[in-house]
Amino acid sequence: MKNQVQLITYVDRIGCNSISELEYMLQSKLNGLFGGVHLLPFYYPIDGKDAGFDPIDHMQIDSRLGDWNDLKSLAKTSEVMADLIVNHISAESSQFKDFLEKGSKSEFFDLVLTRDKVFSEDISEEEILKIYRPRPGSPFTKFQLKDGKELAVWTTFTSNQIDIDVNSNIGLAYLENILTVFQKAGVSMIRLDAAGYAIKKAGTSCFMIKETFDFIDDLTQKAKSKGIEVLVEIHSFYQTQIEIAKKVDYVYDFALPVLVLDTIFNANSSNLKNWLKIAPKNVITVLDTHDGIGVVDVASEGNRAGLIPDITLEKIVEQIHINSKDSSKKATGAAASNLDLYQVNCTYFEALGKDENAYLIARAIQFFVPGIPQVYYVGLFAGDNDMELLSNTNVGRDINRHYYSQEEIDAVLKSRFFNDFKKLILFRNEHSAFNGQFEVLDTLNNELQLKWKNEDTWAVLAINLSEMKLNITFSDEIEKEKALF
């Protein structure tokens, strides 16, 4: 993966109707801004109950967006990342329908993970409570087969997302076939979606257990044998990120978004500085994604302290709600359906009170910490919370999944804010210092100074948090020192 800013987007929510239109936009209006693009699920159908993360057919591009040849064309001009949804298939898939029709005689019987494949006897309430849940409710849904028999099926996320048995031969073949299709289409990197939940074992939390690490390692090796790099998506206690980073190409730095908010809200860089001392370096950095702003990634776990004291974290969450004028409250927790328990649903721009200066400072921090920066399409345009879409769907994360028109995009591209943001993106992409060594300079906690040095080139980010002033200086071949802001 290129050490340049990457875009993460849905094909059809960024003013485009197809993959070919997105390719054109990246070569025209957004030319030079991104070294690659992470396409959020483009499989059939893109408008399922979980915005494509419940594919009926993982190996078919939704025809409304194009086909595999269109993706292959895009891959020739931009590095492409795609999601490998490892944990589940849709309840409307042909495989699950065949399972319901034929039961144990179905060729897909071993693909579907039923409760009795993990628990030989009926599960106790105590064992259920051990299972780590990303969302409210039971991890099982009862389905009736055609012959009248009723089976409890693992549905970790929603009743429309049927967990697969990744330990079965057919489960492994299912994932490997998707990898082969990706390889032929020129996909250079995959994100393992929901990989932390893929392995279930009685008597455990069924989340990021030892066997899960082994599974991720094995799948990573299979992908790399096809020339595909691997990014693992795990929202968990920060030590888990550190451990999983040792086994894969990249992990997300999901701790960063809240640590940046902490730094700005409290004019104190100490927690961020402490994280940068121990954080893995093979990371994709984000401030926002198609999901919410993660809390669990910095929180305590049991008697283990988190990256931010829990009382401070509670105040940060409350400040997000205040800054968004409580619109984020309407999309978080029990206020809307299909929600993660560990996230606040809000655009990052609204989380910062729509303060353009604070937002630019946040992005500057993201671009200067170690890792490859990824910018979500709503964040690219400094988007507001989409309360109309939230109202229409009652899906909390839709508050941050706006459908942009070309007219909306053109208006943002002409703004003074975007001119500054573009300048920052191009600087991160082009200055050679970011291929060198990183250093956190010693400052008071109301300041933050980050430096990159590569032989004779260097770049320094200096922020006065008390006054919210941003300064970026860097070496220039002719003038030796210049200022970006």
Indicate which residues carry an active-site annotation: 193, 233
Sign of CA dihedral 418, 419, 422, 428: negative
Report residue 146: phi and psi, to 5°. Answer: -60, -30
Q: What CA dihedral angle connects 396, 399, 405 and 408, to 10 degrees?
A: 180
Nearest to 193 by CA among 226, 218, 216, 171: 216
Contacts of 440 (CB under 8 A, 6+ apart): 273, 276, 277, 449, 450, 451
Q: Which residue has the tokens 């290129």?
A: 2
3-state SS, residue 299: coil
C-alpha triplet 145, 147, 152: angle, nearest 5°:
30
Q: How far is CA 23 from the centre of its chain?
A: 22
DSSP bridge pairs for 395: 337
Report residue 244: phi and psi, to 5°. Answer: -70, -30
3-state SS, residue 381: coil
Q: Measured between alpha carbons, how far is residue 352 from residues 167, 260, 328, 346 in Å?
A: 44, 10, 12, 10
The Cα–Cα gap between 375 and 9 comes to 9
The Cα–Cα gap between 259 and 275 comes to 9
